[in-house]
């Protein structure tokens, strides 16, 4: 069986204790590779390699760093087909999605930060009347830790690694144990791109051991983490006494506010995507849909019809809209919410069952599910389900829509569908979220600040925000 290996000091290495974890193909429910069950000792080796590489990498001229990152970007594009297939098999997502979104975006992440670092500059302030000038040095932090989840594997892994490297840090990174394959393939790409040994080290293994060793390591001075809110809170507790710099991108329970005056057809098309893209496993998915009452019944009918038309099947089939969920435990967790729907006062309007895909009988398939709810405080509208499950509910006024939108512990993103400029401006101002989309969803300009408020995290990534996170500002004051 194929073995995935750690990438330490530019070389592929088996875990020191020779322990391995099964890696499942979720579309068929079978183990298809083994990944290292890395220990603290493996993380220590990765740390030492990163630590040794830091002085040279941090002094490498920007143009050279930028050229290497751009080369990684172009090699990802050259290997698009192989990487997209690997992602679809490892994660269960449709190959068409991996080909059109995940892998191109991973390449763009490297290219974006290859360019951004050449434009990143710091401030200078003349202290008028004091004959002094202040300027800010933006220095790389040292060895940093990047930990990413399974839903958009290479996309989110590269979203952290690219700015960390661009800013001159060296990295110990861990992808999710559930989706390690494209991170493994990235190691070879980095070598081919000429990334010096030890600058990027990729450790595979469990969050509770390998991940824990990264966050506990006193030499790793910053952690960029994307994942669940509970894990984020744990990381914050471990890191706080060591005063590590933290960027936490956590869970979401995002509202989709649909007003009667919206551009209906566009809204419906995009709402299908914002509900069920990637089997609903995107932190930005809008899982709580609130609809203004005059169009509620029409929306309900049309939304159900469009949802029923989605094709559930093998990720590798070109016609598939909905692939497999990422793992059996996750499938069961999502299904348990559907099973609790009635008890929570909800009515399942469509979907709700497992799907038996011919030839893939043991795969983790679930119907896209719409649940009508009447209680905005029920578990279905309060807890992150992170699967192809949405709730719908009508509202009667702008104030009610705003109150419903803000009635959760999370604050990642939101969509508002209306052609009323005053309304969208008012709501955008008062909605508690890091990102507000008006008449769209998941439209990303990589220069913008990305992140959440409330229990969706702290800190921002994206553009210069990411470069600020991965550098330490130092004030220098010169009296003349
Ligand atoms: P987890 O929090 O379970 O895991 C995320 C990563 O952290 C994985 O690599 C995991 O490893 C690792 N990890 C787990 N425990 C520890 C630990 N003690 N120390 C260090 N690392 C640890 O999240 P999921 O992978 O289940 O991802 C889904 C979650 O991610 C959802 O809540 C989703 O909303 C959120 N997310 C947020 C985004 C955002 O930008 N705000 C974007 C995408 C997802 P392992 O997998 O091996 O356990």
302 falls in which pLDDT band (50, 70, 90)? very high
| Ligand 1 in reach of 461 Cβ (< 6 A) | no
Provide the whole-model pTM.
0.97
Beta carbon of 371 within 6 Å of any ligand 1 atom: no
The pLDDT tens digits of the residues spanning 208-239 come to 999 999 999 999 999 999 999 999 999 999 99
> Which band of pLDDT confidence, cut at 50, 70 and 90, is reported for residue 194?
very high
Active site annotation includes 249: yes
Average pLDDT of the chain, as a whole number: 98
Q: State the alpha helices, DSSP H only, in 148-219.
A: 153-166, 181-192, 212-216
Q: What percent of the chain has pLDDT over 70?
A: 100
- What is the average per-residue pLDDT within 131-153? 98
| 79-95 per-position pLDDT tens digit | 999 999 999 999 999 99
pLDDT confidence bin for 465, thresholds 50/70/90: very high
C-alpha 67: how far from its chain's center? Answer: 26
Q: What is the pLDDT of residue 463?
A: 97
**Whole-angstrom Cα distance, residue 470 to residue 168?**
8
Q: What is the DSSP letter of 99?
A: I
**Residue to mutate, 204, 225, 227, 331, ligand 1, most ligand atoms under 8 Å from C-beta:** 227
The residue nearest atom 16 of ligand 1, judged by CA position, is: 207
- Identify the H or E element spanning 69: helix 62-78
Residues in the chain: 480
Reported confidence tier of residue 207, pLDDT bands at 50, 70, 90: very high
Angstrom CA distances, 259 to 222, 294, 340, stand at 42, 9, 29
Q: Is ligand 1 within 6 A of the CB of residue 465?
A: no
**pLDDT value of position 196:** 98
pLDDT in tens, 338-368: 999 999 999 999 999 999 999 999 999 999 9
Pocket lining: 45 vs ligand 1, CB cutoff 6 Å: no
Q: What is the DSSP annotation of 386-452?
A: -SSEEEEEEE-SHHHHHHHHH-SSEESEEEEE-S-HHHHHHHHHHS-SSEEEES-SS---TTS-B--
Q: Give the tens place of pLDDT for each residue, 415-456.
A: 999 999 999 999 999 999 999 999 999 999 999 999 999 999
Question: Mean pLDDT, to the nearest integer, of 265-275?
Answer: 98
26 touches ligand 1 (CB under 6 Å): no
Catalytic residue among 146, 177, 190, 249: 249
Please choose, from the candidates 153, 210, 207, 162, the residue with its C-alpha nearest in 3D space to the C-alpha of residue 183.
Answer: 153
Which of 91, 231, 284, 466 has most ligand 1 atoms within 8 Å of its beta carbon, as the pocket-test mutant?
231
pLDDT in the model for residue 315: 98
Give SS3 for 330.
helix
Is 386 a pocket residue for ligand 1 (Cβ < 6 Å)?
Answer: yes
Write out the DSSP string of 257-307: EE-TTS-HHHHHHHHHHHHHGGGG--TT---EEEEEGGGHHHHHHHHHHHH
Instruction: Give yes or no: 262 in active site.
Output: no
Q: What is the pLDDT of residue 277?
A: 98
Which pairing describes strands 288-292 and 347-350: parallel, antiparallel, or unpaired? unpaired
For residue 246, the model assigns a pLDDT of: 98
> 23 pairs with which residues across the strands?
33
Whether ligand 1 lies within 6 angstroms of the CB of 251 is answered as yes
Nearest CA to ligand 1 atom 36: 227
- The mean pLDDT value for 309-323 works out to 98
| Substitution site in 23, 149, 332, 409 for ligand 1 pocket (most atoms within 8 Å of beta carbon) | 149
* The predicted structure's pLDDT at residue 107: 98
For residue 384 and ligand 1, the question of a CB distance below 6 A is answered with: yes
Average pLDDT over residues 327-336: 98
Alpha-carbon torsion, ordered 460, 466, 467, 468, to 10 deg: 10
Which residue's CA lies nearest to atom 9 of ligand 1?
176
pLDDT of residue 340: 97
CA distances from 142 to 47, 71, 116, 462 (A): 11, 23, 20, 20
Best CA proximity match to 254, nearest among 386, 369, 413: 413
Strands, E, within 129-234: which ranges? 132-140, 143-147, 170-174, 200-202, 222-226
Residue 280: how many CB atoms within 10 A of its CB? 24
């Amino acid at each position: 069986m194929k073995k995935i290996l750690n990438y330490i000091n530019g070389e592929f290495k088996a875990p020191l204790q020779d322990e391995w974890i099964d890696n499942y193909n979720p579309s068929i429910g079978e183990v298809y590779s083994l990944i290292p069950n890395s220990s603290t000792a493996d993380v220590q080796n990765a740390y030492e390699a990163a630590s040794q590489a830091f002085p040279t990498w941090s002094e490498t001229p920007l143009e050279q760093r930028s050229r290497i990152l751009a080369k990684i970007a172009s090699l990802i594009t050259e290997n698009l087909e192989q990487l997209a297939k690997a992602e679809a098999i490892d994660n269960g997502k449709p190959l068409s999605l991996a080909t059109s979104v995940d892998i191109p975006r991973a390449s763009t992440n490297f290219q974006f930060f290859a360019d951004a670092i050449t434009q990143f500059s710091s401030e200078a302030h003349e202290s008028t009347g004091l004959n002094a000038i202040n300027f800010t040095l933006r220095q790389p932090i040292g060895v940093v830790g990047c930990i990413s989840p399974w839903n958009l594997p290479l996309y989110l892994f590269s979203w952290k690694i690219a700015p960390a490297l661009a800013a001159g840090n060296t990295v110990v990174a861990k992808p999710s144990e559930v989706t390690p394959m494209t991170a493994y393939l990235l190691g070879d790409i980095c070598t081919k791109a000429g990334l010096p040994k030890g600058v990027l080290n990729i450790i595979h293994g469990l969050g509770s051991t390998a991940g824990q060793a990264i966050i506990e390591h006193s030499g790793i001075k910053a952690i960029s983490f994307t994942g669940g809110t509970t894990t984020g809170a744990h990381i914050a507790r471990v890191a706080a006494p060591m005063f590590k710099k933290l960027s936490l991108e956590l869970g979401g329970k995002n509202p989709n506010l649909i007003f009667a005056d919206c551009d209906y057809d566009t809204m419906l098309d995009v709402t299908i995507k914002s509900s069920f893209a990637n089997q609903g496993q995107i932190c930005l998915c809008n899982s709580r849909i609130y609809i203004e009452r005059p169009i509620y019944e029409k929306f309900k009918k049309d939304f159900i019809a469009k949802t029923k038309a989605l094709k559930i099947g093998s990720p590798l089939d070109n016609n598939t809209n909905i692939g497999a969920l990422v793992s059996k435990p996750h499938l069961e967790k999502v299904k348990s919410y559907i099973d609790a729907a009635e008890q929570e006062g909800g009515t399942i309007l469509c979907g709700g069952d497992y799907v038996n895909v011919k030839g893939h009988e043991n795969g983790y398939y679930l119907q896209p599910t719409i649940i009508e709810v009447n209680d905005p405080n029920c578990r279905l509208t309060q807890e992150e389900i992170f699967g192809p499950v949405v709730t719908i509910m009508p509202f009667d006024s702008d104030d009610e829509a705003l109150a419903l939108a803000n009635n959760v512990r999370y604050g990642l993103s939101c969509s508002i569908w209306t052609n009323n400029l005053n309304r969208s401006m008012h709501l955008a101002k008062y909605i508690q979220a890091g990102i507000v989309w008006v008449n769209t969803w998941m439209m990303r300009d990589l220069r913008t600040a990305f992140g959440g408020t409330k229990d969706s995290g702290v800190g921002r990534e994206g553009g210069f925000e990411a470069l600020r996170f991965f550098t330490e500002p130092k004030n220098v004051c010169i009296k003349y």
